Structure 1
Amino acid sequence: MMKDANDEQYDLEYWLSRTVKERAAAITYIVSQSLRKGQRLDKTKLIKIKM
């Protein structure tokens, strides 16, 4: 069963092996799936950090 798989470490290793661009694309896709047609992401809660 998926709830018993305990794949957190494998998931972490997988995502750390992906590029930043791939991770950002995955997050964008997941967020876009939760939005209604025509709805946009509320960016007022985001904080920009200069590196």
Structure 2
Amino acid sequence: MHAVFLGFVMSMIMAHAPVILPAVLRRPLPYHPGLALAAWLLHGSSPCA
């Protein structure tokens, strides 16, 4: 249960970071395709992939 919850929370944080960080820092975050790398790695490492 803990691993599933932790995985869900971490994936949601990484997926929403490009939206949350600019709002918190009050600075624009330029888009770069490399920003999605962490989310791709998370999705690729899941046992259902």
* Same fold? TM cut 0.5: no
- In the superposition, the TM-score normalised over structure 2's length comes to 0.33
Q: Which has the larger radius of gyration?
A: 1
Higher RCO, Cα 8 Å, sep 6+: 2
